[in-house]
Amino acid sequence: QSQLQESGPGLVKPSETLSLTCSVSGGSIRSISYYWVWIRQPPGKGLEWIGTIYYSGSTYCNPSLKSRVTISADMSRDQFSLKLSSVTAADTAIYYCARASPEVGGYFDDWGQGTLVTVSS
Amino acid sequence: DIVMTQSPDSLAVSLGERATINCKSSQSVLYSSNSKNYLAWYQQKPGQPPKLLIYWASTRESGVPDRFSGSGSGTDFTLAISSLQAEDVAVYYCQQYYNTPPTFGQGTKVEIK
């Protein structure tokens, strides 16, 4: 079982870029057995998949966010990151990183505790 | 995108009684080549991340009590809690991983009657 921990600013101003990092321990993000994902949850609402990074370093992001999302990884440090540009209040959410099974969309068997990011001036 | 619709939105069940949550997908999530349903269930308690309960529609994750069971195929699925315990109070989500983007149902809140 992997342990995942999100880190990054809890407050971002409108129009700026949200940046978060997920640190993975107890497993390598270079493993072909898993993918790694970002998921968010607005307060009191449901879950939205943001994007996936594969062991190859390639990524796939939600088309609804695609133009604003960048996911990258530092394989040597077992970390992967999320950048979401031009944020608005609608991007206020708990952001989770998680481990995904290597299926098409993947199911998510390990999650970080999540970090609340508030977009406000 | 595949739309996942859960019913009901909330339910209240007496301790020890059975709770049933339904999930319907807008298209089949059964992959014909391997006969697997790409459907998972999660439990989320307040202030916690979701926890995987069931994958492949009916395979229980390691450590999940056997009072939780998943069933269904194609577009219609069910999560059942055979004998509700106080610690089962939570919001439950279904999720399809048949294609990308993976999508979740809106959630079902389970409470004690």
pLDDT digits (tens, 9 = 90+) for A1-12: 889 999 999 999
Mean pLDDT score, A99-113: 92
Mean pLDDT score, B1-27: 98
A107–B51: do the CB atoms touch at under 8 Å?
A: no
> Is A66 strand, coil or helix?
helix
Select from B27, B96, B93, B26 the least CA-distant residue to B56.
Answer: B96
pLDDT for residue B69: 98
Say yes or no: A113 contacts chain B, CB-CB below 8 A.
Answer: yes
pLDDT at A111 over 90: yes
Say yes or no: B42 contacts chain A, CB-CB below 8 A.
Answer: yes
How distant, in Å, are the alpha carbons of B70, B71, B84, B91 from that of B111?
A: 19, 22, 9, 9
Nearest CA in chain A to B5: A46
Q: How distant is the Cα of A76 from the closest Cα of chain B, in angstroms?
A: 27
pLDDT for residue A104: 83
pLDDT at B33 over 90: yes
The CA-CA-CA angle for residues A61, B57, A107, to 5°, reads: 25
Say yes or no: A52 contacts chain B, CB-CB below 8 A.
Answer: yes
A60–B100: do the CB atoms touch at under 8 Å?
A: yes
Chain B, 87 to 106: residues with Cβ < 8 Å from chain A are 93, 95-106
**Amino acid code (one letter) for B77:** F
pLDDT for residue A27: 84
Q: What is the Rg, in whole angstroms, of the alpha carbon atoms belonging to chain A?
A: 13
pLDDT at A88 over 80: yes
> Is A104 strand, coil or helix?
coil
Answer with the residue of higher pLDDT: A27 or B103: B103
pLDDT for residue A105: 80
pLDDT for residue A19: 98
Mean pLDDT score, B88-103: 96
Q: pLDDT tens digits, residue range B55-86?
A: 999 999 999 999 999 999 999 999 999 999 99
Nearest CA in chain B to A47: B104
The dihedral of CA A61, B107, B84, B70: what is its sign? negative
The span from the first CA to the last CA of chain A, in angstroms, equals: 39
Give the DSSP per-residue string, A6-17: EES-SEE-TTS-
| Sequence-separated (6 or more) residues with CB below 8 Å from residue A68 | A84, A85, A86
Interface A–B counts its CB contacts (< 8 A) at 62
Q: What is the mean pLDDT of chain B?
A: 97
Of B42, B61, B98, the CB nearest to A105: B98
pLDDT at B97 over 90: yes
Q: pLDDT tens digits, residue range A13-68?
A: 999 999 999 999 988 888 888 999 999 999 999 999 999 999 888 999 999 997 89
**Amino acid code (one letter) for A79:** Q
pLDDT confidence of B30, banded at 50, 70, 90? Answer: very high
Say yes or no: B64 contacts chain A, CB-CB below 8 A.
Answer: no
